A and B are shown apart, each in its own frame.
With several copies, the nearest count.
Chain A
Amino acid sequence: MSRALVLDTADEAVAGIEDGSTVLVGGFGLAGMPFDLIDALIRQGADDLTIVSNNAGNGTVGLAALLEAGRVRKVICSFPRQTDSYVFDGLYRAGKVALEVVPQGTLAERLRAAGAGIGAFFCPTGVGTPLAEGKETRVLGGRTFVLEYPISGDVALISAFKGDTLGNLVYRKTARNFGPVMATAARTVVAQVNEVVPAGSLDPEAVITPSIYVDRLVAVPARRYIVEGAR
């Protein structure tokens, strides 16, 4: 990809996302959730989306708001059910959203495989459980593995701490989570950051997402975080 575009608003950053897209959405709970990009996506209007994310929304913000707006056809995630996932829960029970549950590490590895050009991989996770039913298995070195395929996105929406004008990203603490791997797995990668800094300001040893993976970058005001109760 060529050098990232630094945009002024989240609305510009999500422009052009089409109906029916598969959208990778970073975050683990609220940490690393790209709130501003999701809000802009709701305004942008893309419909019939498949969302790939670890969770299926909390409270009425972020992914939950996108779900509530009726834009999501299917969720691929590891852990939809949370204490405050009532928006998703309601839609799911009403048959208004489809769900594919994937073990968390397999979700991360399938995204990585997409980004790394791996066609499929034999994974030990989930063997002998309902989540491996119907999947190809193979015994390797005496252990059973299940064949898993890449998950790629049309778009990835992620949140990072700082980005430079080339598109290099650094994250903050456990808000890093799915951002770096999703950034490798989508055709168009959009990152919201707290601050855009000049190229050369980030330590090249500490860049987590190299600029090659980032297409669009937008600085957003400090995040409207809330801290949840227990999972």
Chain B
Amino acid sequence: MAASSSIPKDHSAAIEHTDRGPLTADELAALIARDIPAGSYVNLGIGQPTRVADHLGPSSGVVLHTENGMLGMGPAAAGEQVDPDLINAGKLPVTELPGAAYFHHADSFAMMRGGHLDVCVLGAFQVSVTGDLANWHTGERDAIPAVGGAMDLAIGAKDVYVMMTLFTKDGAPKVVPACTYPLTGVRCVTRIYTDLAVLDVTPHGVVARQTFGASIAELQARLNITMDTP
């Protein structure tokens, strides 16, 4: 796995990192990559989660799944490597690693739905304290609904990590008592990675693993939820 010098190595020793500001998207991606167990089979959602791949070196032994029918997906393709028949879920050209395998859509989603992926990392509009996920539809009336593989991923992977900012640009909390946006999946998120905190979703509620640039007390107040510590 990629070493990332900017993030404390010892999780248990320091939960509240109030001395360091919010994590950048890249720092957050590195943190997620470090938490993914070696040899895991992982699906990275469209958008921000794709960045996690940049921090998963070959030594991690992590095998990437793309919903459109491939295990062993490599980095983005460039120049001569670009092959229109080899794209990721975001429809961008990618590469193939040794030991890759291709399969059709029914098999690809059977793999997801059957619980064979160890981890998926998804973006989100909102996550509830019980692990409900809202990431496919803002609920606006004139929006064209488009779900893609989001619902399949949400209920399929053994661990569903969300990667997002903890607040919207307008300052509204994205970890909420109950989602107000249309749901993608019910009680499916296991961990929430944000710029300000990493939270586990447990049967007893949300538990703070780490905070960055803010204390647990501050975040509880801003989010208006209670937060345990491990």
Binding site for A on B (CB under 8 A): 37-41, 46, 61, 63, 65-72, 82-93, 96, 98-106, 108-118, 132, 137, 142-152, 155-156, 182-186
Contact = CB atoms under 8 A, between A and B. Distances in A.
B149 A168 contact: no
Interface string A171-200: 111111111110010000000000000111
12 contacts: A1-B41, A28-B68, A79-B147, A81-B145, A104-B67, A108-B104, A114-B114, A116-B110, A125-B156, A174-B102, A180-B106, A230-B91
Contact of A115 (B37, B89, B114): B114
Contacts of B148: 78-79, 103-104
Given A103-B151, A227-B84, A81 B146 contact: yes
Contact of A30 (B91, B96, B115, B118): B91
Interface of A: 1-3, 28-32, 54, 78-82, 88-89, 92-93, 99, 101-109, 111-112, 114-118, 123-131, 164-166, 168, 171-181, 184, 198-200, 202, 204-205, 207-208, 210-213, 223, 225-231
B143 to A, nearest CB: 8
Contacts of A213: 116
A1 B116 contact: yes
The majority secondary structure among interface residues of chain A is loop
B147 A117 contact: no
Nearest to A88: B144
A176 B102 contact: yes
Nearest to A212: B41
A87 to B, nearest CB: 12
Contacts of B88: 174
Given A2-B41, A28-B69, 18 more contacts: A3-B61, A29-B91, A104-B149, A105-B113, A115-B110, A115-B116, A117-B110, A117-B112, A125-B113, A125-B151, A166-B63, A168-B101, A204-B96, A207-B102, A211-B72, A212-B111, A213-B116, A230-B46
